[in-house]
Amino acid sequence: MGVKLDIFDLTVEYGAFTALDGLHFSIHEGAFVALIGPNGAGKSSLLRCISRVLKPTRGTIYLDDSDLHKLPLNRVSKLMAVVPQDTVVDFDFSVEEIVSMGRYPYLRRFQKETPRDREIVQAAMETTGIAHLAQQAATSLSGGERQRVVIARALAQEPEILLLDEPTANLDINFQVEFLELARKLNREKGITIIAAIHDLNLASQFFDFFILLSDKKVLSIGKPEEVITPDNLNTAYHTPVVVGRSPLHGKLVVTVLKHWQPDKQGCRNAGQKVHVIGGGEEAVPVLSLLRDAGFQLSVGPVTQQDSSHQFASYHRLPVVTLPPFSPISDEYYNRHLALIRKADFVIIPSIPFGYGNMRNLEAVEEAISSRLRVLMLEEQPFSYRDYSGGKAGAVYERIKAKGALVLPDKETLLSVLEAHRTSDNVFGEF
């Protein structure tokens, strides 16, 4: 059986400096928790309080119904283990000797390890994939191998809670993934509650089920990934604009950091140009970002609220046609889109897929295209590869081309055409 962790009014002060300010939250047994937040938010201080290295100025941490700081140290060592960020090994101990240190809470003074202790140590090394290194000197290991040794030592304690302080900070990408896969395996198969302070939000969202976001010494948000990893929360905590979408490879949330935009001379020159970008999908976001950096006045749509283009538009307060989820484009939304198109000087069709659900976006462009309204179509991928309508969307696409739309190979050419049009009205005839 695991233990529940309850935090009440947890406050940590270092003289006049406050590291944590009145934290309240609970972590249920068997949880797999990512502790996130910017540097200085209090992640390390929180882990140090939970591991009893640091005594809070105010507040209480309960393991089930027991005050953590009133429990005997030996009892806490059996319930909880820590894997620190720094895994440097300065002494020439063998891997097995280091892992065996995890059995110290169970041994009386000068007591030798029992056969059961040795079985637990062996099992910990096998679980972490380092049994073949048992007699090797720990000083000769790679960073990833040392991390596995330290987590094996923690497993030898037979803990019910495992605390990880920036466990992937100094590891290569492959070792980061291996380490978190191992942590998830321990959580799933052994029911160990795992709380990990972690910086990489995309890596965290790929593995963890539950998130605690610290900001300004407090808990800003707590819950499932979708509840915590939102543009508003991350902008509040990290003071930087982001777009949150889903990876097409594994369906997990993906955070994209946007540049802090400041208008330059080029941006000021383009400020009067109105450009409408057809949504949506992740292919549209780089186009939106490029054009916004260049200073164009943008509008977007139609897209659902879950679309990354909608999140970009919402953050930058751009006009956007917002569709209800899982709904076709009705006449009402078609007309809203048409009205937004007709306000623009240019319409951009990114290299996005088209099917029956969004084909009316092309039909609106076909209806509105004119000598005043110019249409630019990106073909970073041939349209036939992106047509999921049995050729019907392709037919509309070809009619738009026949009415004078420009087909461009990449975003850089797109920007060049828009820039050239500012100084020449005949640029469309030149491409």
Give one DSSP letter per residue of 289-315, joined into a string: HHHHHTT-EEEEEEEETTSHHHHHHHH
Tens-place pLDDT, residues 72-87: 988 898 899 988 876 6
**What token pair was written down for 78?**
């059996």
**Residue 40 pLDDT class (50, 70, 90 cuts):** confident
pLDDT at 271 over 90: no
Tell me the percentage of the chain whose pLDDT exceeds 70. 93
- Asked whether residue 341 carries a pLDDT value surpassing 50, the answer given is yes
What is the pLDDT at residue 430? Answer: 46
pLDDT one-digit tens code per residue, 353-406: 999 989 999 999 999 998 788 999 999 989 999 999 999 999 999 999 999 999
Q: At what angle do helices 231-238 and 308-315 cross, to 10 degrees?
A: 50
Cα 425 to Cα 239: distance, rounded to the nearest angstrom? 41
How is 129-188 classified by DSSP, letter by letter?
A: T-GGGTTSBGGGS-HHHHHHHHHHHHHHT--SEEEEESTTTTS-HHHHHHHHHHHHHHHH
Q: For 82, list phi and psi in degrees, rounded to 5.
A: -125, 135
Question: DSSP code of 257?
Answer: E
Mean pLDDT of 186-205: 93
From 55-69, 274-288, 340-354, 398-412, the region with the lowest mean pLDDT = 274-288
What mean pLDDT, rounded, does the chain reach?
88
* pLDDT 10s digits, 402-416: 999 999 999 999 998
For 44, the token pair is: 């390390």
Q: State the pLDDT at residue 431.
A: 43
- The Cα 312–Cα 74 span in angstroms is 52
How would residue 309 be classed by pLDDT, with cut points 50, 70 and 90?
confident
Lowest mean pLDDT, pick from 54-58, 61-65, 121-125, 310-314: 310-314
Share of the chain above pLDDT 90, in %: 55
- Domains located in the chain, CATH noted: 5-242 (3.40.50.300), 265-430 (3.40.50.720)
What is the average per-residue pLDDT within 196-210?
94
- The pLDDT confidence band at residue 332, using thresholds 50, 70 and 90, is very high
pLDDT digits (tens, 9 = 90+) for 130-169: 999 999 988 888 877 888 888 889 889 989 999 998 888 7
pLDDT at 310: 87
Match 């910086």 to its residue by tokens.
199
**For residues 182 and 189, what is the distance between their CA atoms, to the nearest angstrom?**
10
114 half-sphere exposure, CB direction, 13 A CA radius: 7
